[in-house]
Amino acid sequence: MRTVPTPTHPTPTHPTPTHFTAARSTPDRSALTARLRAAGCVYAEDEASLLLEAADDAAHLETMVERRVAGEPLEQVLGWAEFMGLRLVVAPGVFVPRARTGLLARLAVEGLGPDARVLDLCCGTGALAAVLARDHEGIELWASDIDRAAVGCATRNLPAAQVRQGDLFDALPPSLRGSFDVVVVNAPYVPSAAVATMPREARDHEALVTLDGGRDGLDLQRRVIAQATGWLVPGGRLIIETSRGQAGATLALFSAAGFDACVVLDDDLDATAVVGTTGRGTASRG
């Protein structure tokens, strides 16, 4: 049996980086790029630039590179993600906002009044609310998520919004029932069995609660859609991201809940959403 010797010197926390020159002040960009490429990073040159820019020193760089080559998403390693021109704080385990979710942001602003009240439900980093806050200064923004780490990120990304932690609408004060002009939602919608087929970056480094939508992927959507009419103003809109293959089922849930709804596709973003409007005269702003 192999025994592990007790070290006589402290074990170095960071191995000597291979991409710093002997002077240790000039990073060896090409060695770093090669290392990232060998680990399967498709945009190795761009990633090398971002990591070099973010590194405080050689040890910090090495730590970040080790995390990246081990498969952690670049955004979690850097601590930020780009979304629609914004740089958002993203912590380990938190869902990294995807470009396709830009469709929800675009739909949410359609016809939005200057004093609208908007909820970003299942907000993750708060990416959607952050875009709305940037583009529509006067609106009242709420955001909520069940995951503590996500709420921590959203709180930092949304200094002017109300951010809450909790299960769907339970996170909100009941006094807000019937008061939202728009509820925008990117809830998990991957069927449980399909999570294992997702890229490693997602399945190993984004918490299961951010991905798993239950047996058919629609568990969260089903609950959101059933509850949403109670939180919207008459004529208010519920906007939910879904997949092309699930769009028909998502639409049927909206119709069953009494929404006037339609599917919106964006081929450029490879994005699908369902937008539903409540009937007028069914609820009143509280």
Ligand X SMILES: C[S@@+](CC[C@H](N)C(=O)[O-])C[C@H]1O[C@@H](n2cnc3c(N)ncnc32)[C@H](O)[C@@H]1O
Q: How far is CA 37 from CA 45, 65, 76, in A?
A: 8, 12, 18
| Residues pairing with 182 in the sheet | 118, 237
| DSSP assignment string, 219-251 | HHHHHHHHHHTTTEEEEEEEEEEE-TTTHHHHH
Find the shortest distance in angstroms from Cβ 52 to ligand X.
Answer: 27
Nearer to ligand X, 139 or 153 (CB): 153
CA dist 103 and 231 (Å) reads 22
CA dist 137 and 21 (Å) reads 48
Nearest to 238 by CA among 131, 87, 156, 119: 119
Find the shortest distance in angstroms from Cβ 137 to ligand X.
Answer: 21
Q: How far is CA 154 from CA 43, 119, 252, 281, in A?
A: 27, 13, 31, 33
Nearer to ligand X, 32 or 139 (CB): 139
Phi then psi dihedrals of residue 23, to 5 deg: -65, -15
CA dist 106 and 132 (Å) reads 9
Find the shortest distance in angstroms from Cβ 274 to ligand X.
Answer: 15
Contact string (CB under 6 A) for ligand X, positions 95-134, x = contact: x-x---x--------------------xxxx-xx------
Site for ligand X in 219-278 (CB under 6 A): 220
Find the shortest distance in angstroms from Cβ 105 to ligand X.
Answer: 9
- Kindly report the number of other CB atoms within 10 A of residue 149's CB atom: 18
Nearer to ligand X, 19 or 237 (CB): 237
Nearer to ligand X, 66 or 219 (CB): 219
Find the shortest distance in angstroms from Cβ 159 to ligand X.
Answer: 18
Q: Is 187 in the site for ligand X (CB under 6 A)?
A: yes
Contact string (CB under 6 A) for ligand X, positions 133-172, x = contact: ------------xxx--x----------------xx----
Q: Is 188 in the site for ligand X (CB under 6 A)?
A: yes
Find the shortest distance in angstroms from Cβ 18 to ligand X.
Answer: 34
Chain residues that interact with ligand X, rule: CB under 6 A:
95, 97, 101, 122-125, 127-128, 145-147, 150, 167-168, 186-188, 209-210, 220
